[in-house]
């Protein structure tokens, strides 16, 4: 059986930290579209739109950036112009508020592996890996982020810690595009480094 190739970013499956979502802001000067499941980093400023509150600015993480949090949704009704309640992502160069789940070592996420560096094996469980940023889906609003299997290693600064495979009938372990369970490892608020993989 083949796994479906359909990236969806980092999808929260166990909210063990019970931390509330945080409202953050993405300014119109940011020309990168942002999607649900995208990891974000702080952008060192604050901003607002449409008379809303001043909030910390965030931007999409690159593969090696420490993660501040993961986008869970957007406030489509709170924009200066072009309101579209049917839209599920934040288009490029659009000032918009997003809802971010702050990064925490306890929470568990599901992510598709890209398997460019070979399919993950049982021996890879416990290792760390980076993610790779892909194009998000403007129709579904889902992120294109995947786990980059070519980066799997024990290195403490890698973004994700591999816990195992998502146990569901539609996911076959050891096969291309498998869905993997991970924890966030390299977290911005924890000093930008995680724990070594085993």
**Residue-wise pLDDT tens digits, 44-97:** 999 999 889 999 999 999 988 999 999 999 998 888 777 788 889 999 999 999
**Residue-wise pLDDT tens digits, 96-123:** 999 999 999 999 999 999 888 788 888 9
d(CA 75, CA 126): 36
pLDDT score for 113: 93
Beta bridge partners of 47: 55
Reported confidence tier of residue 133, pLDDT bands at 50, 70, 90 = very high
pLDDT at 1 over 80: no
Burial label, 52 (beta-carbon count in 10 A; 0-12, 13-18, 19+): middle
């Amino acid at each position: 059986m083949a796994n479906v190739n359909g990236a969806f970013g980092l999808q929260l499956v166990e909210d063990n930290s019970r931390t509330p979502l945080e409202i953050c802001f993405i300014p119109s000067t940011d020309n990168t579209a942002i999607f649900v499941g995208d990891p974000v980093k702080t952008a060192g400023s604050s901003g607002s739109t449409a008379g809303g509150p001043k909030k910390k600015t965030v931007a999409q993480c690159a593969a090696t950036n420490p993660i501040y949090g993961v986008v869970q949704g957007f406030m489509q009704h709170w924009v200066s112009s072009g309101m579209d309640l049917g839209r599920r992502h934040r288009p490029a160069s659009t000032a918009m508020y997003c809802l971010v789940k702050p990064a925490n070592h306890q929470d568990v996420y599901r992510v598709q592996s890209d398997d460019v560096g070979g399919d993950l094996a049982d021996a890879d469980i416990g290792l760390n890996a980076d993610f790779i940023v892909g194009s998000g889906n403007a129709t579904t609003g889902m992120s294109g982020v995947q786990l980059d299997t070519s980066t799997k290693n024990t290195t403490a600064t890698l973004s994700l810690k591999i816990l195992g495979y998502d146990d569901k009938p539609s996911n076959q372990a050891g096969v291309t595009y498998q869905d993997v369970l991970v924890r966030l490892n390299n977290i911005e608020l924890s000093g930008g480094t995680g724990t070594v993989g085993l």
